[in-house]
Structure 1
Amino acid sequence: MTIHGTETADLPPLVHEALGWVVRLTSGAATTADAEAFEAWRAQGPAHVEAFREAIAFRRTLRTMPLSRLAPGSNVVAFERGSRPAVLDRRAMLIGGGAVAASAAMLMATPPYGLWPSLAELGAGERTGVGERRTLRPMAGVTVEMNARTALSLVQFSARLITGEAFVAVRSSQSPFSIVVGGKTWSTRNAELNVRFSDGNTCIACLRGSVRQSGDGVHTLGANQQYVSKAGEAGQISPIDAQISAAWRRGVLIFRDTPLAEAIDSINRYRPGRIILANERIGRRLVSGMFHTNQIENAVDQLQQLLLLQVTQIAGGVVILR
């Protein structure tokens, strides 16, 4: 399967094939034969697996691009139509129906590579869009400031961060206020926190006061300390500069020896489209710099100059860094 488009001409041929598979498998018309053929294609080697990972990331951006605003004839990637799928007979439907339903439920709960919003995100009580910020006051003495592209839910005396970033200020509250991040509950009566959760990675930064994590592996953070837990790894506590951790509230993103993948996650909150990293190796490179959120359109050029990266521009603000 292939994909055609003037703006993807410099992408590797294997990625073009992978993009075709992504489109087919998420079209709603894929058959069991398609699934078997795809598994055979992906099993050919690590290069095929990596190409599919990159294609998934690319497809994710297409689903969030404002394509309706683009004029006809724009450099929008056009996917070729597949042949008409074979219709499954009644017996195949009865046999496969349960498995398909179970798979669909799993994919909705945990979308691969965030290809579409999860059920938890769709059900969030509060969501912000690109470049949007919102202030909430869930109870007396408590303020929650949501960063862009953030989803959270509020319940009595607590909040649950589903994805994104938020600043939480609790000032001498009689009742403790709790926030759940990455499945862990943190509680305080008097503190300022900057909390972030993305792709299974958790960061709890205590800017003032103290906050305590309940449950297994209890942790207590004081002022200018942060707890960072990456997916599948134990959490670590380290000192921080409070002025940097919540700089986004002042319209500035500041990075000091920050992994590029983490920096891109923050930058993507403020720009339409999406910046995509071609592979994990690039994401581990360290970046230091300052980016103004009201001039975030300059971020790609700055990153290209800082890290000597190759840039592929795609329609709708999508950029691939190599």
Structure 2
Amino acid sequence: MSRPRNKDDAAVDEALAECRETLKQRFPLPSSPPARKPRKGSKVLPLVLLALAAGVAWKDPAYRNEHFVTQVGQRQAIQLADGSKIKLDGGTEVRVSWHLRTRQVALVRGQALFDISPMHYRPFLVDAGNADIRVVGTRFNVNMYAGDVRVTVAQGKVAVTGRAADRTSLLMPGQQVVVQQGIPGEVVKGNAEDATAWQESRWVFAGTPLAEVVAALQRYYAQPIELTDPDVGKLPLSGVFSSDSVETLLALLPEILPVKLSREGEAVRIQPQAEKNNSPTR
């Protein structure tokens, strides 16, 4: 129990009160700082960071690059990090770049078969010279030759856009399109098995222009093959041939088409059969 207060207690309280007042006068407490107003920048900064992030995503920068090249007569199978597969024909070069929003491949030259893992939020883009190809998940073949591009679809859907015309062709399985000088042609039926027979060392030509045939041969033949006349390159060739014997096919050409072969140094020249020799006769 607390004891009852007396006169001495009251006197002590009064003395302590006087001491406190004296101390406050000699040693005044610092005044409290005014309340800070929130800076406008504190709200603006998150917006700036968000805008920067959106800008980076919009530009879709590459964070990883890969480069693959096959020599003449060599084929190569590539397994990509996302599970996609690319098979390169002979004399083919591709550049693979991984971006934030897309997967991209530049087909610099040659022919390649693409088997793409589906990613709806991250499409697969192929730059094939005069043609742009966009897919989500599919299997298709791209053949570049003499500045033109032939795209054949085995599975899925493929959108092909020409660089010289603002027109896009949508290909379904069993269809193909040829992009000439950056302009997509008519979508026609295409046999994917024939288009990809090069994997098994076979060429299947069905009315194929000789210029495209020569491009296929050149991927397995180190010496240059030249067409002396543009019209010769338009001659159609049909048949099944082995890519292991390019010399045999070259020897057969004059028996199948109205052409003749000649050699100039290391180059093989294919010219019209009726072309006159302008060299002086003795």
Q: Shorter-chain TM-score: what band?
A: 0.5 to 0.7
Q: Does 1:204 align with 2:151?
A: yes
Cα contact 1:127–1:149 (8 A) shared by 2: yes
Q: Larger Rg: 1 or 2?
A: 2
Judging changes above 3 Å, is the alpha-carbon distance between structure 1 residues 159 and 234 closer, same or farther for their aligned structure 2 residues? Answer: closer
Q: Does 1:248 align with 2:198?
A: yes
AA of the residue aligned to 1:319:
V
* Equivalent residue number for residue 168 of structure 1: 114
Shift of 1:294: 1.3
Cα contact 1:259–1:286 (8 A) shared by 2: yes
Mean alpha-carbon deviation: is it higher for 155-164 or for 184-193? 184-193
Shift of 1:214: 6.3
Residues 252-299 of structure 1 show CA distances to partners (whole Å, capped at 9, x for unaligned) of: 011111111111111111112022111111111111122101122211
Shift of 1:308: 4.1
Instruction: State the alpha-carbon separation in 2 of the partners of residues 213 and 298 from structure 1.
Output: 35
The residue correspondences of 1:57-206 to structure 2 (distance < 5 A) are: 125-156=67-98, 157-173=103-119, 175-206=122-153
The share of aligned pairs that are identical, in percent, is 23
AA of the residue aligned to 1:131:
G
Q: Judging by fraction of residues, say which structure has more helix.
A: 1
Instruction: State the alpha-carbon separation in 2 of the partners of residues 176 and 234 from structure 1.
Output: 21
Cα contact 1:140–1:173 (8 A) shared by 2: no
Q: Which runs of 5+ in 1 are unaligned?
A: 1-123
* Equivalent residue number for residue 252 of structure 2: 302
Cα contact 1:226–1:238 (8 A) shared by 2: yes
Judging changes above 3 Å, is the alpha-carbon distance between structure 1 residues 315 and 210 closer, same or farther for their aligned structure 2 residues? Answer: same
Judging changes above 3 Å, is the alpha-carbon distance between structure 1 residues 231 and 214 closer, same or farther for their aligned structure 2 residues? Answer: closer
Residues 33-53 of structure 1 show CA distances to partners (whole Å, capped at 9, x for unaligned) of: xxxxxxxxxxxxxxxxxxxxx
Q: Does 1:312 align with 2:258?
A: no
CA RMSD of aligned residues (A): 2.2
Residues 32-79 of structure 1 show CA distances to partners (whole Å, capped at 9, x for unaligned) of: xxxxxxxxxxxxxxxxxxxxxxxxxxxxxxxxxxxxxxxxxxxxxxxx
* Equivalent residue number for residue 277 of structure 2: none
Cα contact 2:177–2:185 (8 A) shared by 1: yes
Cα contact 1:138–1:154 (8 A) shared by 2: no
Instruction: State the alpha-carbon separation in 2 of the partners of residues 191 and 235 from structure 1.
Output: 21
Secondary structure in 2 matching 1:243: helix
TM, length-normalised to structure 1: 0.57
TM, length-normalised to structure 2: 0.65
Q: Judging by fraction of residues, say which structure has more strand.
A: 2
Shift of 1:202: 1.4
Shift of 1:183: 4.7
